[in-house]
Structure 1
């Protein structure tokens, strides 16, 4: 059982690493393209430059949405997922502390009166 668990963890680690590397490469490629477009937009004058800036902004939004969707579809947790987990862990920690504090209080024994 130990070998299977270790093997599973290793393959999960490799997959996670591959996903991260792929996402980083995609992100870098997209940023490179946007940087190039921004440089071109700055070099232009007048109405054309404004149009190019709008196009760059639109492309940036589309790119971010697609990368987010792709990462989500392969199971990479998003910021909101991580924040929700953090909130839940904090809530559970608070509840555990309350339970521990309650357990430390001495329990009063019932007294019986003799007739």
Structure 2
């Protein structure tokens, strides 16, 4: 095509030559236009194929990434659960040691004291019942004995009340100490865990 144009342009400047040159240029422009359209269609066709291939590749990458993310989350969840279990164990051990070092009564000790108070209360009721029965049988002869038994019952009742009051006070005081120690120990454990996790 370029050779034809050069040959026509090099020829004599007649009117027929100019028309031939114009026709050749027009034909060349038309062929260039068609070649451009063909290239555009080819690019569009190939572009669609490339686009579809990229979409498939993207889906594949997304599946792999999702699987890796799920595995990572599951592993992190297992690690966190293990860490919390260890933290709970450390906390319970420290609180138990702190309570033991302060001689704080345990639940078992408090239950034993409650049982003792219950026994004393039962004994007091029995003695009161005995005193009442004895006094009705022999009011004159047993009046002095009844007073002694009543005093004993009152003393036992007072002793039970004192034991109960002392137990409540001890439990209240010790509970306040335990709460403070538990807060302090919790702060220490949290700091230890932060250091381990961050460090």
- Normalised by the length of structure 2, the TM-score is 0.30
State the structure with more CA Rg: 2
Richer in helix (by share): 2
